[in-house]
Structure 1
């Protein structure tokens, strides 16, 4: 009986951030096909608290504390000529577990979740290799470098260049490379030289967990005056931090010209110091919450003004599933496929984003209609069962038609 080795840069529990939501659902799907052995990292004590949940799904596992300081990872990267993204996730304990598992178990498929995990796939492995890049990470660092300039920009440009080479190497080693959207897959194919087989494996949403009819609004938020705007996500992730700073300093003041009591709510784990410093009357930094659904249910609108965005934004799908009208930038809307003006509202500059928010907040029937249409779209097009329909075949377990990107 064949088995699967699943290698991920973060433990897929709890599914409370974008990468964990995807890896969590992929792992569960693979575990339904065959015994799965999992090699992964824990960032903190909260991650370690999920080891029991991981053990319940995995046939065996190795959970390593990722404690290497960024400065040490950077020093190693400079000495070895590797991207920091690789040295930060290098562990001898994880490598030993993977080597032993491949020697002692009938592993037929290795699933590498994120480009950083390609370093653990042996060149002499004879089975099937799946590289789930999710999105084009090197392109994100290129965008950072153009934005920042100076020494920081030089470091980001170095990371982009070396990571792009590593992405191409891992893609060349893999039987198939997975990206989260057709747009990301097309970009990856172009950047990797076109030799690798690239497929789209989209993200999904748990429509039952994100059902506005089954969720009680969070009282702390619901009791505040109308209108309440929300942004959710991993709040030490640079694009999210930048988006929230933009919302608070450049967009919210414009909205308050029409709605003086408008408030903006930042909901998500590990808020950066830049965000904590923004907390004031009308700007709330809530940090990590047990579940995001009650906070979405208590909000009137989701504002997602990302300037750098890769792949599909789970925060957008979750807000749409909760029938919440969403105002967002084109970067945040990439890969979702919903119609502007019907299922969400897309705008680019600050004035346009503020105007779109004000228009929806002043026209509640239209806002509610957009929210209903958003949920209908997500239920019909973005369930996890639909998103992972091709994964069984891609993992080598059944003949099903995969979505190749030309």
Structure 2
């Protein structure tokens, strides 16, 4: 079957959750389908990145747009009522190019990742699958409370637009998938039970335990320009760690991930190290004793938790971050409700290595049993083949 995949970002390197999900879906779906990939981008994709996808794709097209075109797109979105996250990516020029590709390829099925690209193909009389992935409206809603006063009206407007669009786009696609049951429950549509839940996976053959000297007590990983991650590490350093340091002033934190925002860089000290981009994230996990993800905002499944668990690390998480994961509190993970909870969990794991090891082993087993990319993507392939 010819499968046309339309993405809002080129799926390599794998420093963002949507790119990671798209990459593994493409890799697995290519075993059964002829993949024609089309991705939007505001910069030239290096040839070495394209080569990472070439083994899985019959054709690869990247549609470029400029900063000026982004501005025009946003202005048009303001007046046509579409969400800014949809309007940002839509243009008539890109539409013409996508139409040309579809005419040339003649795909049997169209697969869209995120509602950001659905405008291009929603009226096509071809079987289609939409990966909502996360609920963008809820993510925006959670950001309103922590945003500056001048951003609140913008975010409130975007929330209303997204809520309306997430419901309306439902009808245009034969199949709908999403990353978790909590996210599915947030879809404002009476038939949301028809949306298939397909979580992210983790490569358990790649993310294996590594014996290494532990330079850090705690580690947080992720794209460090992403607002929920920035908010999380600020909460960790400013509210949780001061409590921990009263008992043990020597505890050190590693913040590891691409593009650290200025707010993240400002957290650096002798006890808080910000590494920035690392070529192999496994090294950051391996040199740390505990993984912590005190996420306060954001939606979807936290890939960082899957990776840390696969590497047999004891993990501490917020209830929000664990909601899509579904690990058992006090058995496979420790859940924090407030800064005191997190501080107590950190000290407990550091002071009780036998219990920490038990939780880490349970976590690794849980991930291996439930989050295999191949098995999870098979569910998507069945939906596509039956459409």
TM-score range, shorter chain: over 0.9
Query: What's 2:108 paired with?
Result: 108
Note the aligned Cα RMSD (angstroms): 2.1
Q: CA deviation at 1:386?
A: 2.6
Query: What's 1:145 paired with?
Result: 144
Query: What's 1:241 paired with?
Result: 230
Change (3 A) 1:66 1:322: farther
Distance 2:318 2:155 in 1: 24
Pairing 1:27–2:21 present: no
Query: What's 2:303 paired with?
Result: 314
Pairing 1:52–2:51 present: yes
Change (3 A) 1:246 1:3: same
Specify which of 324, 329, 332 is matched with residue 313 of structure 2: 324
Distance 1:256 1:47 in 2: 44
Identify which range, 104-113 or 52-61, moves more after superposition: 52-61
CA contact (8 A) 2:142 2:298 kept: no
Pairing 1:301–2:290 present: yes
TM-score (norm 1): 0.89
Q: CA deviation at 1:283?
A: 0.8
Pairing 1:86–2:86 present: yes
Query: What's 2:251 paired with?
Result: 262
CA contact (8 A) 2:185 2:192 kept: no
> SS state of the match for residue 358, structure 1?
helix
List alignment gaps of at least 5 residues for structure 1. 399-406
> SS state of the match for residue 300, structure 1?
strand
> SS state of the match for residue 210, structure 1?
coil
Specify which of 362, 365, 369 is matched with residue 376 of structure 1: 365
Query: What's 2:268 paired with?
Result: 279
Identify which range, 64-73 or 253-262, moves more after superposition: 64-73
Query: What's 1:194 paired with?
Result: 191
Q: Deviations over 1:252-275 (max 9, x none)?
A: 111112221111111111111100
Query: What's 1:6 paired with?
Result: 5
Change (3 A) 1:209 1:247: same
Query: What's 1:121 paired with?
Result: 121
Q: CA deviation at 1:132?
A: 0.2
CA contact (8 A) 2:8 2:40 kept: yes
Pairing 1:337–2:337 present: no
Pairing 1:208–2:197 present: no
Q: CA deviation at 1:152?
A: 1.1
Pairing 1:390–2:379 present: yes
Q: Deviations over 1:158-213 (max 9, x none)?
A: 1111122222222110012111011211222xx1232783111111110000011x
> SS state of the match for residue 36, structure 2?
strand
Q: CA deviation at 1:57?
A: 2.1
List alignment gaps of at least 5 residues for structure 2. none
Change (3 A) 1:337 1:223: closer
Query: What's 2:351 paired with?
Result: 362
Identify which range, 346-355 or 100-109, moves more after superposition: 100-109
CA contact (8 A) 2:6 2:37 kept: yes
Identify which range, 348-357 or 76-85, moves more after superposition: 76-85
Query: What's 1:403 paired with?
Result: none
Which portions of structure 1, spanning 4 or more consecutive aligned residues, are displaced by more than 6 angstroms?
none
> SS state of the match for residue 295, structure 1?
helix
Q: CA deviation at 1:374?
A: 0.7
Distance 1:50 1:170 in 2: 31
CA contact (8 A) 1:38 1:58 kept: yes
> SS state of the match for residue 151, structure 2?
helix
Q: CA deviation at 1:72?
A: 4.9
Query: What's 2:131 paired with?
Result: 132
Query: What's 2:63 paired with?
Result: 64
Count of equivalent residues: 386
TM-score (norm 2): 0.94
Q: CA deviation at 1:105?
A: 2.3
Identify which range, 87-96 or 30-39, moves more after superposition: 87-96
Distance 1:170 1:383 in 2: 29
Distance 2:374 2:319 in 1: 26
Distance 1:233 1:135 in 2: 17
Q: CA deviation at 1:128?
A: 1.1
> SS state of the match for residue 150, structure 1?
coil
> SS state of the match for residue 241, structure 2?
helix
> SS state of the match for residue 64, structure 1?
strand
